[in-house]
Structure 1
Amino acid sequence: MSSILEQPSPDPDKRAFGSENADEKTDGATTESAIDSRDGDEALVLVGRDKQADFTDEYNRRLRRKLDLWIPPLCAAVYFTQFLDKTSLNYARHAPIMNFPIKGQNYNLVSQAFYIGFLVWEFPTVYISQKLRLAKYLGTNIVLWGIVLMAHAAAPSFGAFFALRFLLGMFESCVAPSLILIISMFYKKEEQATRISWFYVMVSHIANGLTSVFGGFVAYGISFYDGHRIAPYKILYLVLGGLAIIVGICVLIWMPDSPVHAQLLTQEEKIAALERVRNDQGGTSNRTLKLAQVKEAVLDIRTWLVVLSTMLTSIPNGGLSNFSNQIIKSFGYTSKQTLILSTPGGAIAAGTTLFCGWYSDKKGERMTPIVIAIVPTIVGAAMLIGLNNKSGAKGALLFAIYLVGTFGSALSTIYAYNASNTSGHTKKVTVNAMTLATFSVGNIIGTEIFLPKDAPAYIPGKIAIMVLLTAQLFICFLLRWINTRMNAKKREHLEKEKARKGWTDADVRRERERSAFLDLSDKQNIFFVYTS
């Protein structure tokens, strides 16, 4: 049996339906010539507006398996490298073991420099990436930040460290938006949260997931070197920078820009990959900046609630990703013990991320998994506050710091929320940029909630974490209610259109298929369904 079951072409006189202001001038005979270059999606080059073929379930399963062995591992390598490099400061700081020269408030400022560079370059980088081949742009940035990271080993002063961390933030700012776009191009909505969790598991904060497991052991091994030829922290930066360059080269060679440019897929598989995601109405890629979609993103209340959610999650991350080891050390452990004891927290956070990603896709939910992730963090923060200075509480405090790390998967689910609930390429990159810019602002603020004057207990910072994430619970329920309400309104609108135009159910299916790759925003496209 052939892998493709040919379907008859729909009536060419039926016009594509998106919204009142959708492009009505194109018809079934006009595929790539009229809309794919500017108005529509680049997928139109391969599949056109009308669905021509169905692929068997077995064929699609084999294709998804092939994608799973290819794209998520590359995404994971990128994210692993990014967060290992970003948090290298946390490992390098273990003076006198690492002989790191930056201390006190200067350390806080150097920590902030990364996020300042990230914030400054977030919007430019996503719009530049829209104009270029996405994966090639990503790979180039990875190689550049690897070079910058290696240069940390030669930095002679606070000013040099600040400048290098600023550049590191600039080059790394394209990572999450690029990976979210790539996942949304190749995977259906009910598959996206799981795949995002597969790469985000590398950095499921507190000590940044599996990154902390690897980084902790690397730093622990380097700490045994006596530093008579080169300071141990310099070895750390040279090793991590070299790893980033290797990963960047791999991305340049193997990461696909989109299904249309997926070099490891056959022509038939490229078409099948596009047809798999057609009904999700999310599209793939369009290189034209559409100001109307920028405006829609900015005026969408959900965008600002996502921004607020990201802020509430990122402030704790900014503090914990740079100060978690100091908190563990304050329980009474040595510097070397702290490096090892940080690793179980990463493993627990990683498990939470994988579970929440699976649950999110299994139940078709995005907000409930966030609640599941942040409740243990609130409990853990309360334990850290309540058990402070209590004798015999050393083990309980360590357990509490592990609980705190579960909140990291909330940001993974926010990424999945953006991927599943936004369409129109310009709107996608705008919402992603706003999300990641807020991530940067939150992390900048977060570096200031653990101040030297509050050491070693850092009680004000722990209280801030508990309060911020409690507020996040209410935002989750509000976003869920808004999406449910918007879906109900879309159903009502569609029923009115069916009655007005005399559409049958078959007509609705056909019009839904034809609207998939017109690069319509989620509000323009009546067939788009939000994931709550």
Structure 2
Amino acid sequence: MADLINEKHMSTDSDDIEMQSHDLEQNITLAEGEIKAPMFKHVDPNDGDEALRAFASDDGEVIVMTPEMEKQLLRKIDWNLMPMLCVVYGLNFLDKTTLSYASIMGMKTSLNLKGDNYQWLGSMFYIGYLVWEYPTNRLLQRLPLAKWSSFNIIAWGGTLCCMAATSNFAGAVAVRFFLGVFEAAVTPGFTLFTSQWYTKEEQGLRTGIWFSFNGFAQIFGGVVSYGISVGVKKHGAAIAPWKVIFLTIGLLTVAIGCIFLYFMPDSQLNAKFLTPKERLMAVERIRKNQQGVGNKHFKMYQLKEALADPITWAFAFYALMADIPNGGISNFFSQLIVSFGYTPDQSLLYGSPGGAVEVVTLIVCGYLGDKYGHRLLISTSGLLIAMLGMILIVALPLSNNSGRLAGYYLTQASATPFTAILSMISSNVAGYTKKTTVAALYLVAYCVGNIAGPQVFRPQDAPRYKPAEITIIVCYGVALIDVVFIAWYYNKMNKKNEAIRATPGYRKLDKQEFLDLTDKENHEFVRHIISTTVTSNLSIAQDIGMYRTKFDKGKLGYQRVRKGLKESSEGAQPQYIKVTAHIWKFGGAG
């Protein structure tokens, strides 16, 4: 099969415009042509997805990808994108937790922290994050994605270095606020990168991989902090060890940010590591996501839909419940390990294995979720492991240091549902304004939880912190119930869309995948939580009838559709989807 087959357009531009105009005005019709119900109220063919530009000047080329070609392209995308996403996300976590390392390396004494000052240093990062989360999501939509992300990476690295220059609580709290401001762009930005480059079936594992670098960062940070602390004590240093750790991590972040700026593309359309033909193929392969690669325009109706969607608030509620524990543990884990009976230097080193638990659970759950199609439900296993770990910390006697330390390690598995929901925002929320809004609200709730988290670790409860530990167990339990609700609701919405697609006379729009429709507008949209085929045999039969009408002048296209139907009946349905998706230049619906 040729990589690319050049064909002349089988219809004139005026025919295409007339056909698309008709599709926009009436989508669901009866057999006699009577309009049954309007399906779309907000479709503007001139304000679709950025992906439409990829095909605007392709001289009528019809893209045909074999599975081997797609595997090669996916491998190329992975090797060029994933290393940068992974390293930067690891630094994102390391920058936040550097405060915990510094807290037992002399920072509290140097800054003269008293009472609840340290708790507020932990919370102030998330206050800055909270204040800037929605504005930065709007900027992620309006500005070039990689450029804005790079600016924030470099800026937060420089801000972290400033922490070494502080001499009191006021200066430190100001730096922590701006650190939160600049880091607010990272998680939603990386969610957008994942959604624009990978198919729904690929997103869970990729999100799990780059998120798992939180664990690698914890291992790296613990070892580096231990080395700095022991080295300074043994050999001395011109500046305090806690300042050295801030400068080391901050300067490393600035350097990585510059590399990210040079290499990371904003989308497939300007990816320097792809050839022009590969850019088209990279856009084409994500067509079945029904999302495209982005739209720069703010759409008020999508904002309203996001605010009215129950799943938006279910996501936000999960983030709130899950991140009260996260905010407490991430800021107090070094002090928590000291409370188990270990020295400050030992706590720096002994905290590292917790990162390995996070890495393993995230990657395993991401892989199994994508392989078996139960992404969200499989992710709950990590939350159950974390609950068990916190129960061990509460239930075991103070004398059982090793058992309580093992319990702490198990709590590091708690990130799996949070990551699964991030990947679901990437794959299951459509409409670019809606996606950025849902991501912003999810991370706003994440901030609120992390602001509250350090406050439950009250100084008067040290060293046991039993009220905080019980609070964490309760939060995990409530979060687990919320995950079950999300799975139930998504299953309900998938069945609803399936019923609509089965309606007699149902039709889909030309290039519907790239019209920046929301997940509620687009009834072709399938929410990825359980194993489902992208299209049913019924919708394939409906597509054949539609293609037969539209391709009366394009026999080659019709033959490919028939070939796809034959392969589908033999159990090769994904092949049908790939082949028919590549003939829309003839005027078909894709």
TM-score, normalised by the number of residues in structure 2: 0.82
Structure 2 Cα separation of the partners of residues 306 and 240 of structure 1: 32
Task: Count matched residues.
Answer: 505
Query: What are the superposed Cα offsets for residues 248-284 of structure 1, whole Å, 9 maximum, x if unpaired?
Result: 1011101111111212111111110111110110211
What letter matches 1:500 in structure 2? G
Structure 1 Cα separation of the partners of residues 423 and 521 of structure 2: 21
What letter matches 1:178 in structure 2? G
Question: Which of 420, 432, 441 pairs up with 1:434?
Answer: 441
Q: Which residue of 1 aligns with 2:523?
A: 526
Structure 2 Cα separation of the partners of residues 51 and 492 of structure 1: 35
Question: Which of 247, 255, 270 pairs up with 2:256?
Answer: 247
**Contact 2:365-2:375 within 8 A present in 1 as well:** no
What letter matches 1:473 in structure 2? L
Paired residues for 1:352-363 under 5 Å = 352-363=361-372
What letter matches 1:357 in structure 2? G
**Contact 1:193-1:360 within 8 A present in 2 as well:** yes
Paired residues for 1:427-466 under 5 Å = 427-466=434-473
Corresponding position: 1:291 with 2:300: yes
In the TM superposition, residue 473 of structure 1 has moved relative to its aligned partner by: 1.6
Question: Which of 85, 91, 110 pairs up with 2:101?
Answer: 91
Q: Which residue of 2 aligns with 1:137?
A: 148
Structure 2 Cα separation of the partners of residues 454 and 399 of structure 1: 21
Structure 1 Cα separation of the partners of residues 205 and 61 of structure 2: 27
Structure 1 Cα separation of the partners of residues 43 and 484 of structure 2: 41
Q: Which moved more, 1:64-73 or 1:88-97?
A: 88-97
Q: Which moved more, 1:91-100 or 1:351-360?
A: 91-100
Q: 1:430 to 1:24 in 2, by over 3 A?
A: closer
Q: Which residue of 1 aligns with 2:360?
A: 351
**Contact 2:105-2:229 within 8 A present in 1 as well:** no
In the TM superposition, residue 10 of structure 1 has moved relative to its aligned partner by: 7.8
Structure 1 Cα separation of the partners of residues 168 and 10 of structure 2: 68
Please provide the CA RMSD for this pair: 2.1
**Contact 2:50-2:294 within 8 A present in 1 as well:** yes
Q: Which residue of 1 aligns with 2:53?
A: 45
Q: Percent identity?
A: 36
Structure 2 Cα separation of the partners of residues 7 and 371 of structure 1: 50
Identify unmatched segments of 5+ residues in structure 2: 29-37, 530-590
Question: Which of 503, 512, 535 pairs up with 1:515?
Answer: 512
Paired residues for 1:204-223 under 5 Å = 209-223=215-229
Q: 1:6 to 1:482 in 2, by over 3 A?
A: farther
Structure 2 Cα separation of the partners of residues 99 and 265 of structure 1: 53
In the TM superposition, residue 22 of structure 1 has moved relative to its aligned partner by: 2.9
In the TM superposition, residue 77 of structure 1 has moved relative to its aligned partner by: 1.4
Question: Which of 148, 153, 161 pairs up with 2:159?
Answer: 148
Q: State the SS of the aligned residue for 2:116.
A: helix
Q: 1:298 to 1:8 in 2, by over 3 A?
A: farther
Q: 1:515 to 1:25 in 2, by over 3 A?
A: closer
Q: State the SS of the aligned residue for 1:464.
A: helix
Q: Which residue of 1 aligns with 2:277?
A: 268
Structure 1 Cα separation of the partners of residues 4 and 112 of structure 2: 62
**Contact 2:6-2:61 within 8 A present in 1 as well:** no
Q: State the SS of the aligned residue for 1:399.
A: helix
Identify unmatched segments of 5+ residues in structure 1: 27-33, 204-208
Larger radius of gyration: 2
Q: Which residue of 1 aligns with 2:212?
A: 201
Q: Which residue of 2 aligns with 1:29?
A: none
Q: Which residue of 2 aligns with 1:425?
A: 432
What letter matches 1:260 in structure 2? L
Q: 1:403 to 1:24 in 2, by over 3 A?
A: closer
Corresponding position: 1:235 with 2:223: no
Q: State the SS of the aligned residue for 1:333.
A: coil
Structure 1 Cα separation of the partners of residues 282 and 296 of structure 2: 20
Q: 1:120 to 1:24 in 2, by over 3 A?
A: closer
Q: Which residue of 1 aligns with 2:556?
A: none
Q: Which residue of 1 aligns with 2:557?
A: none
Structure 2 Cα separation of the partners of residues 25 and 308 of structure 1: 31
Q: State the SS of the aligned residue for 2:327.
A: helix
Query: What are the superposed Cα offsets for residues 427-463 of structure 1, whole Å, 9 maximum, x if unpaired?
Result: 1100111111111111000011111111111111111
Q: Which moved more, 1:252-261 or 1:301-310?
A: 252-261
Query: What are the superposed Cα offsets for residues 109-159 of structure 1, whole Å, 9 maximum, x if unpaired?
Result: 111110000000000111012111011001011111111111111112110
What letter matches 1:89 in structure 2? L
Structure 1 Cα separation of the partners of residues 517 and 421 of structure 2: 22
**Contact 1:51-1:514 within 8 A present in 2 as well:** no
Structure 1 Cα separation of the partners of residues 456 and 4 of structure 2: 58
Q: 1:9 to 1:442 in 2, by over 3 A?
A: farther
Paired residues for 1:280-359 under 5 Å = 280-359=289-368
Structure 2 Cα separation of the partners of residues 270 and 303 of structure 1: 32
Corresponding position: 1:169 with 2:180: yes
Query: What are the superposed Cα offsets for residues 382-418 of structure 1, whole Å, 9 maximum, x if unpaired?
Result: 11111133x3x22211111111111022211110111
In the TM superposition, residue 47 of structure 1 has moved relative to its aligned partner by: 2.5
In the TM superposition, residue 5 of structure 1 has moved relative to its aligned partner by: 5.0
Q: Which moved more, 1:469-478 or 1:227-236?
A: 227-236
Q: 1:120 to 1:276 in 2, by over 3 A?
A: same
In the TM superposition, residue 24 of structure 1 has moved relative to its aligned partner by: 9.1
